[in-house]
Amino acid sequence: MSSEWTIGIIGGSGLYALDSLEDAQWIAVKSPFGEPSDEILCGRIGDVRVRFLPRHGRGHAISPTDLNARANIDALKRAGCTDILAISAVGSLREELPPGHFVAVDQFIDRTKARTDSFFGSGFVTHVSMADPVCSRMAELAANAVKKSGGPVTKGGTYLAMEGPQFSTRAESKLFREWGADVIGMTGYPEARLAREAELPYALLGMVTDYDAWRDDEEGVDVAAVIEQMNANSELARKTVEALITALPDKREPSPIDTALDDAVITAPDKHDPHVVAKLDAVAGRLLRAARGDG
């Protein structure tokens, strides 16, 4: 395992570039899982390599349901990422999480229904644990970086991923609160699930743009207000990324997530589908190399 950091940043709504990157260049990374959302902006902050991918593409051209999360995670893995920080605009399901607040998410509820959510399937059946879906180390670093940047942040929170592109009904929003969800968004899943399958420690910072539709004395979610708050959040998000990267330890200690696929593959080696395995050369490369005995 590498002892050096290569941080992947997935930029959410309002965050389409990182101006602080040195030696920055956009590089196209091909994936066997289709087209990623955009090229990857490769550069560094100090001595740390950074790989930035705008989740919706530059100009926000891709809707949440149409995002190719498999290609995005695969491309970041191919670009050498060791860890991922995702940044997402979210709605608040709690009074104490007002617009402008950040939440270092630690749990998810998946309510999406039209997305491919795994790299694995017949021919290479694999089951990874998602009990604790984020990397606690990255989440702690991210929350501390928000504080250092002068922003309000809550450590821990449950993110409900909905399909979209419509916002919730009032009945849905109230139900999600009863389920224990704290914030709601359209992109955190299957992204987090796929990062775990790719053995990439993943954390998500939710940037609250609005209260969801559960407040009876208010109008529903207003896109203009969301965009205004989203733009206000984006500057703090950029500062947070810089603060996180400059605070990284000089040496990256191994994470248990680095070996998440150990003992997760169920299919017997003689039943592996070579066509499926060929597509997994990045996602499961460590495991496949070990199985072949070549490191």
- 156 is a domain residue: yes
Which residues form the domain of 46?
6-292
Whether the full predicted model's pTM is greater than 0.85, yes or no, is yes
- 139 is a domain residue: yes
- 1 is a domain residue: no
- The pLDDT value recorded for residue 2 is 61
- 42 is a domain residue: yes
- The pLDDT value recorded for residue 289 is 86
The answer to whether residue 12 scores a pLDDT higher than 90 is: no
**Cα separations in angstroms, 71 against 15, 32, 282:** 19, 7, 11
Percent of the chain exceeding pLDDT 90 equals 84
Domain count, the chain: 1
Q: What is the rounded radius of gyration, in angstroms, for the C-alpha atoms of the chain?
A: 19
What gap in Å lies between CA 62 and CA 69, rounded to an integer? 11
Q: What is the mean pLDDT of residues 202-220?
A: 89
DSSP 8-class letter at 295: -
What gap in Å lies between CA 248 and CA 242, rounded to an integer? 10
- Return phi, psi of residue 285, to 5°: -60, -45
The answer to whether residue 3 scores a pLDDT higher than 90 is: no
Q: What mean pLDDT, rounded, does the chain reach?
A: 93
What residues are labeled active site? Answer: 210, 212
**Cα separations in angstroms, 119 against 58, 187, 206:** 25, 17, 25
- 53 is a domain residue: yes
CATH number at residue 216: 3.40.50.1580
Residue 161: band (very low, low, confident or very high) from pLDDT cuts 50, 70, 90: very high
